[in-house]
Amino acid sequence: MWVDASVFLVLSQYLEQTPIFNTWNTNLGIYADANTTLTAVGISSLWCPSDDKIVGKLTDIGPTYFGGLPNFRVAYTSYAACTGTWYSWPVRGADERVTSMPITQLNSKGVYYNRSSTRIADILDGTSNTIAFSEHAYGLLSVDDLPWWNHWFAGDFGDTMFDTMYPPNPHRRYQNVYAGTYYDCTNGVALTFGSTSSFHPGGVNVAMVDGSVRFLKDTIDSWRVDPATTVAQGVSVSSTTPCVWQIALGTKFGVYQSLSTRNGGEVFSSADY
């Protein structure tokens, strides 16, 4: 995966969207003016039937975003790819990004992450026990947030990437909407942005690497989130390496977190979730 392009854009050539893929200028950032042809294309297969606000939705986000054109339009997705138990974001700044990329890649536990190239042979937990994609409901965002998240073409966390730091549909469980210092390791992020979410009562649908679709209940076993830090107990950002997460000795993964890792060594049956 490219850093700023989504897995859905990379896969578009296999979704009968080859003309869209061919318009992608890979020499430029995904929000560059030259890529506005594809950013405004809505792909119906990326719209969940229960997420009715997303159907045909186009938003003009204007020249104040990354593009300079007065009519920079974007379309959206109801789905996202699993980056594992957390998202390791490369350090901001061109030089720092290059040097931090290998570290954050090693710190990533899911199938998809920055510049990932995961092979089936790398998924040691088994393709039926590893989450690849999940619902990521667009319509749950606030009116102010609707224009800026779930962009189908963008590979950012919160657009087309999610983690399992929080249980499915965390907005149903937590009153504090913003998760402390989690996003980009410096700013707060709404729980809905980077978590699995849906309009289905009681849980979310996820796609496993083997192609099967499972319904995970909101009550699935998940590690405990510390209300004081708003991250999982025993999990913290490294004090020496920015945006790299570390786990305290003895920290227990829940079934949900275990299903999101590609090579954690866990073995579960469908009866566990």
Per-residue DSSP letters for 184-251?
Answer: GGTS--BTTTTS-B-SSTTEEEEEETTS-EEEEETTS--PPBPTTTSSBTTEEE-SSSTT-EEE-TTP
Beta bridge partners of 76: 151
Residue 221: other Cβ atoms inside 10 A: 16
HSE-up of residue 200 (Cα within 13 Å, Cβ side): 20
Q: What is the pLDDT of residue 64?
A: 53
Residue 270: CA atoms inside 13 Å, Cβ hemisphere, count? 8
User: Which residues of the chain fall short of a pLDDT of 50?
Assistant: 1-3, 94-96, 177-184, 186-190
* DSSP conformation class of 4: S
pLDDT of residue 190: 45
Global pTM reads 0.88
- Separation CA 190–CA 141 (nearest Å): 9
pLDDT at 189: 47
pLDDT value at residue 68: 60
Q: Give the tens place of pLDDT for each residue, 120-177.
A: 999 998 999 999 999 999 999 888 889 989 999 998 888 999 999 889 998 887 765 4
Residue 206: what pLDDT? 97
d(CA 126, CA 263): 8
Nearest to 80 by CA among 22, 166, 138: 138
**Gap between the Cα atoms of 214 and 221, Å rounded:** 15
Contact indicator for 182, 231 with CB cutoff of 8 Å: yes
Vertex 39: Cα angle to 181 and 92 (nearest 5): 30
Sign of CA dihedral 192, 161, 230, 234: positive
